[in-house]
Amino acid sequence: MTRQLDLSDPLARETAAERARLADLYAGLRPDQWAAASLCTGWRVREVLAHVTMPYRHSALRVLRGIAAARGKFDRFADRIAHEDTDHLSDAELLAALRDNVEHPWRPPGGGQAGALSHDVIHGLDVTEALGLPRPPADRVRHVLESAGPRAFAYFGTDLAGVRLVATDAEVSVGEGPRVVELPAVDLLLRITGRVTPGSV
């Protein structure tokens, strides 16, 4: 039997709901939108979706071999395989890979279910913000912000020294410091993940 998300877990339910939401949005995209630039440098919408669905389409062994071939640089491997996949997969096939795996149990190494939700929400924003599509619910983004910590800040090169980010539409804050920045939860996440000009926090 194919393994699925444990939907008794609130984070798993949010993960499945976000995937389903994004699949519905992508289903309405025009060809020019699929080819539009995303917030991920060098990736169009289709490369973002290829990346998000990579764990569903490629075995762990294939991924490990690819990372090894990229001399241990996951970002280099991810960029290469995203472009390779979009060279031979149609937009419809990429969409099907997402819709058919709404309840896939994949989790990033060491990231747990919160990491899986964060992966889907953040890369979803790479597309929806670029195309002006509806944002995820603020409470769903709250879960992502609550899981953010030093490891995430280091990965994205975020420096919150002396800054406390407070969501205006969800009960969550990130960081500590005398300077308080109040914004909608999505805008806080975009800043933490470097999707806006670094000096704007």
The length of the chain, given as a count of residues: 201
Q: Name the percent of the chain in helix, strand, coil, to the closest 5.
A: 60, 5, 35
Cα(140)–Cα(173) distance, integer angstroms: 14
Cα(104)–Cα(159) distance, integer angstroms: 33
For residue 91, the model assigns a pLDDT of: 97
At residue 113, the 3 state secondary structure works out as helix
Could you give the strand order of the β-sheet that contains 179-183, starting from the edge strand earlier in sequence? 173-174, 163-167, 179-183
Tokens 């995209």, residue located: 29
Cα(97)–Cα(94) distance, integer angstroms: 5
Give me the tens of pLDDT residue by residue for the chain, a chain 201 residues long.
357 899 999 999 999 999 999 999 999 999 999 999 999 999 999 999 999 999 999 988 988 898 999 888 888 999 999 999 999 999 999 999 999 999 999 999 888 999 999 999 999 999 999 999 999 999 999 999 999 877 777 778 888 889 999 999 999 999 999 999 999 999 999 999 988 743 444
User: Are the beta carbons of 177 and 159 closer than 8 angstroms?
Assistant: no
For residue 140, the model assigns a pLDDT of: 98
Q: Which of 56, 54, 52, 59 is nearest to 104 (CA)?
A: 56
Q: Tokens at residue 150, please? A: 């030093």
For residue 199, the model assigns a pLDDT of: 40
User: Are the beta carbons of 117 and 15 closer than 8 angstroms?
Assistant: yes
